[in-house]
A and B are shown apart, each in its own frame.
Chain A
């Protein structure tokens, strides 16, 4: 019974079935299945999809569909982990968002999805995220990495504001900050005091691994 539900949960991710994944996660938790086993089933499936994406067998619609199914199931499992006073095992916690004034979603979403598929815990703050929101979330979640996106030259400056706000709040030490997006260059990243820059979403995943030495 237990194995059957876990297998179905993993399958729901691979079939891009968000409502199904959420229902199965609920069922698994109700039956008292160990949350870490449910997490394993989810991450194993998303990794398989991620690998197939990397080899060109699957494409973004499949990758994002699988990630959305996983995201639908994850809070249900995490709730039980938290109730038990435990923490979720992951490659690292990353907060991602498109900065204030910028509503470009796609690149940041691809980056978040690839990271999730690579075993990271990603908190995606969405688009048009004010500096205060980054600061507040970093304080609360204590991530290893903050990743910011900006597509426009005009909004790229906002990445500087976020870094300054993190420094002012005393949260910059030990935190890695990375930037990306159409308007960003290595030189710009250095000029605003970021720890790294990547021109593409897969490059951002490699950069995250590199900075965390994993």
Chain B
């Protein structure tokens, strides 16, 4: 199993107990008074049977507090995520902290900063790099390069997921678009892995039919699922942080009740991210402190309920480049999320407000993840690490510690030394081409692609995966969701990648 990082001290708290109670009470009240719009007849029936007040015509469910409390207690606070390589299994929850590959629609040219649809080969390479990076614990094949050249949109998730499964043995994120989760579940079964699927949610206070179907399907397959409850303050939710958190907690309650009455004890997590809105343009802004504060508040509330957490605080920056802005926007929020108890941090490689993904950025941010992990692990505290005898033995100058057995044993046990950050002295830096972190990351990507061999699928598994893809392609073509023109381009593109 992959340990990831363990936070060795209690999570930082931002809310008082009174504030926690106000948010909880406000969310309970909202679910009783206004309730949730759930556009799924099966879910409505289940919830009516469980004791909710359901208006079937308006698709509105009002949920009594006792049922919410009862269902919150049923959500497991930890679950194991099985990877196709058992060494990469994860235990999500508790004090463990994992990092997840970030997301971004398009390939980015690092010379021009232009974006474009990615090829199959570029997707493969990005996944090989993610597989090699030590601090990416969960892979996100689906949501990197969702804009794949000549791949019809309806097949995007499945093509990307198959590429991810082939070129990485880490657990994969999946999702739900037009019932594609049916094929995603088949793929997972064929190679013996779990998935970590995020389920589409409509903010405010709405669960659409596709989202409910997907949550039920994943739950029935025994796969933990993750409703994605993002919000833009002042646009899809209240402009205040406290209000946005009340709304998100109310929605959390509705998802928990809907899925726990369907399958009690089904493992799940909640994916959250609160963003400010630029009130000149309506665009999401990822660079304000409210994003970090909202994360801290959500993390604290979800920990009270014992619901595992996927935080997207640092999943992207607003910057269009790999630069200082991207660095601070992504890393500071991620650090805060990790310190306040988020379990899975969506992080490495994505930027430009979901528009770009870069393997080079993923390499750079793997260093940041290592840095944050070092902070989480904290000091190792025992008689030996206190080093009292040693300090007294070495004494004052000319005493020193460089040659001691203690230093040899401990110097790299409590720290993370970066792979690509520039830590050279000036003279050697100047003499070796004045490379910065991005230059080093480019070299590292080339090195990984030349040397790293992901754990291959067996011939049978590979064949099964291909069979599912063929079935899905034909299914969506027959349903008219892939036109003849698209089909011709698609088939030619697949040959190019092969």
A residues engaging B (CB < 8 A)? Answer: 56, 59-61, 103, 105-107, 110, 152-154, 156-157, 200-201
Contacts and interface: CB of A to CB of B under 8 A. Distances in A.
B156 interface: yes
Contacts of B147: 153
B351 interface: no
Interface stretch (B229-237, B357-365, B378-386): B229-237
B178 A154 contact: yes
Interface centre among B147, B234, B239, B279 (most CB of A within 10 A): B279
A152 to B, nearest CB: 8
Q: Which 6 A-B pairs have the closest CB atoms?
A: A59-B279, A154-B153, A153-B153, A60-B279, A110-B282, A106-B235
Interface centre among A59, A60, A153, A200 (most CB of B within 10 A): A153
Nearest to B152: A157
A101 B232 CA distance: 20
Given A59-B280, A153-B105, A153-B146, 9 more contacts: A56-B280, A59-B279, A60-B281, A61-B279, A103-B202, A106-B232, A110-B281, A154-B178, A200-B281
B236 A154 contact: no
B154 interface: yes
Nearest to A54: B280
A59 B234 CA distance: 12
A106 B177 contact: no
Contacts of A156: 153
Contact of A60 (B156, B206, B208, B280): B280
Nearest to B481: A157
Contacts of A153: 105, 146-147, 153, 156
A201 B281 contact: yes
B177 to A, nearest CB: 5
9 contacts: A105-B236, A106-B232, A106-B235, A110-B281, A153-B146, A154-B156, A154-B178, A156-B153, A157-B481
Interface residues of B, number: 22
Contacts of B281: 60, 110, 200-201
A107 B282 contact: yes
B156 A61 contact: no
B280 A103 contact: no
A177 to B, nearest CB: 19
Contacts of B277: 60, 106
Contacts of B232: 106
B150 to A, nearest CB: 12
Contacts of A103: 202, 206, 208
Interface of B: 105, 146-147, 153-154, 156, 177-178, 202, 206, 208, 232, 234-236, 239, 277, 279-282, 481
Contacts of A60: 277, 279-282
Contact of A106 (B146, B282, B481): B282
Contacts of B236: 105-106
A67 to B, nearest CB: 13
A61 B280 CA distance: 9
Contacts of A110: 281-282
Interface centre among B105, B147, B154, B235 (most CB of A within 10 A): B235
Contacts of B280: 56, 59-60
A153 B105 CA distance: 9
Nearest to B203: A103
A60 B236 CA distance: 13
A59 B285 CA distance: 15
Contacts of B146: 153
Nearest to B280: A59
Contacts of A61: 234, 239, 279
Contacts of A105: 236
A61 B202 CA distance: 21
Interface centre among A56, A106, A156 (most CB of B within 10 A): A106
A128 to B, nearest CB: 9
Contacts of B235: 106
Contacts of B154: 154
A103 B105 CA distance: 19
Contacts of B234: 61
Nearest to A63: B279
A59 B178 CA distance: 37
Nearest to A128: B208
B282 A201 contact: yes
A192 B410 CA distance: 63
A103 B208 CA distance: 10
A157 B178 CA distance: 13
A28 B155 CA distance: 56
A208 B281 CA distance: 18
Contacts of B279: 59-61
A59 B282 CA distance: 10
Contacts of A200: 281
A127 to B, nearest CB: 9
Contacts of A157: 153, 481
Nearest to B239: A61
B104 to A, nearest CB: 13
A200 B282 CA distance: 10
Nearest to B234: A61
A115 B154 CA distance: 33
Contacts of A106: 232, 235-236, 277, 282
A65 to B, nearest CB: 12
B198 to A, nearest CB: 14
A12 to B, nearest CB: 22
B273 to A, nearest CB: 16
Contacts of A201: 281-282
Contacts of B156: 153-154
Contacts of A152: 153
A153 to B, nearest CB: 4
A32 to B, nearest CB: 39
Given A61-B234, A106-B232, A154 B177 contact: yes
Contacts of B481: 157
A60 to B, nearest CB: 4
Contacts of A154: 153-154, 156, 177-178
A152 B202 CA distance: 13
B276 to A, nearest CB: 12
Nearest to B200: A103
